Amino acid sequence: MSSVDRPVRVTQLRVARSEWTKLCSLRSTRWSLLAAALLTIGFPLIFASVVEAHWGRMSPSEQANRQPLEIALIGVNISQLAIGVLGVLIITAEYSTGMIRATLSTVPKRLPVLWAKIAVYAAVTFGLALLSVLVAFFGSQAILNSKHILQIGLGDPDVIRSVLGAAAFLVLIGTFAMALGAIVRSTAAGIATFALILFVIPPLLNVLPSSWNRAISPYLPDSAGRAIFALNHGVNELSPAGGLAVFAATTACLVGIAALLLVRRDA
């Protein structure tokens, strides 16, 4: 048995490097990320093409209601599902495969694993989301430019904020989903909970008296998150900064619960 250079300890940076390798070394992860990018880019291009083709037949009021930024960011509504599902899976696949036993016996303090997973996935999501949103923005603008309609630039008011906000939204969605996965530890339950909170509960609230609905809805992850990159903010909606604060706080709470459970529970 040859001797090994004995480094002193497990560090947060080393765990992050390991988590980076984990993320990159799975085919399913690479495909999910590619799918998220394609959805973010593809839908705006399709929508822009449709608007461009039908422009002549639209009434002036209909034309006035078209928002170029909304078209550019339309894909985020769909790719959030891919980012969320992958976020859940990154955690729950460790439990379903048994990998978690190797992971936690290698890093017995446990918390560095959670921080590293979140940091690596957040960085990857942010980079990928920003890149694909920018491609979607310029791509949809180029399509619309052929009729010289709905032209905006990155320097126009709120454009940079919305583009960065969309990337931040996807990062928070991914982190939120990871925390859910770490709490429930099962893929099926994790994805179901994620879909319930993001897609099922919001429309259900419309059944409530509207005063209640107005008091609750804006603070839910979905609407708070959407406020970060939405162009127009209604009276019952949070401001971009408010939305960011609320969604980030909700996510932080969930991550806190996940961290506590990770340390307390048997693996």
Partner 1 sequence: MIEAIGLTKQYGSKRAVDDLSFTVQPGLVTGFLGPNGSGKSTTMRLILGLDAPTAGSVTVAGRRYRDFPAPLHEVGALLEARALHPGRTAYRHLLVLAQTHGIPRSRVDELVDLVGLHDVANKRAGKFSLGMGQRLGIAVALLGDPQTLLLDEPVNGLDPEGIHWIRTLLRGLAAEGRTVFISSHLMSEMALTADHLIVIGRGHLVADMSVTAFLATASGQLVRVRAPRATELAALLSDPAVRVTSDGPESLEVSGLSSEQIGEIAAANGIALHELTPLRASLEEAFMDLTREDVEYKPQVHA
By the criterion CB under 8 A, which residues form the site for partner 1? 1-11, 14-15, 17-18, 21-22, 25-28, 93-94, 97-102, 104-109, 266-267
Residue closer to partner 1 (CB basis): 89 or 180: 89
- Min separation Cβ 258 and partner 1, Å: 18
Residue closer to partner 1 (CB basis): 61 or 266: 266
Structure tokens at 12: 């947060």
Alpha-carbon 12 to chain mean position: 24
Residue closer to partner 1 (CB basis): 28 or 210: 28
Distance (Å, whole) CA 246 – CA 219? 7
- Min separation Cβ 263 and partner 1, Å: 10
- Min separation Cβ 31 and partner 1, Å: 11
- Min separation Cβ 262 and partner 1, Å: 12
* Alpha-carbon torsion (159, 194, 79, 44), positive or negative: negative
Residue closer to partner 1 (CB basis): 1 or 235: 1
- Min separation Cβ 103 and partner 1, Å: 8
Query: Tokens 């008011």 belong to which residue?
Result: 157
- Is residue 166 within 8 Å of residue 229, measured between CB atoms? yes
Residue closer to partner 1 (CB basis): 71 or 114: 114
Residue closer to partner 1 (CB basis): 116 or 230: 116
Residue closer to partner 1 (CB basis): 15 or 133: 15
Structure tokens at 16: 């992050």
- Is residue 224 within 8 Å of residue 238, measured between CB atoms? yes
- Is residue 39 within 8 Å of residue 75, measured between CB atoms? yes
Query: Tokens 């990155």 belong to which residue?
Result: 154
- Is residue 199 within 8 Å of residue 157, measured between CB atoms? no
Q: What does the angle CA 217 – CA 219 – CA 221 come to, to the nearest 5 degrees? A: 100
Which are the contacts of 21, defined by CB distance < 8 A and separation ≥ 6? none
- Min separation Cβ 176 and partner 1, Å: 23
- Is residue 194 within 8 Å of residue 221, measured between CB atoms? no
- Min separation Cβ 23 and partner 1, Å: 10
Which are the contacts of 24, defined by CB distance < 8 A and separation ≥ 6? 30
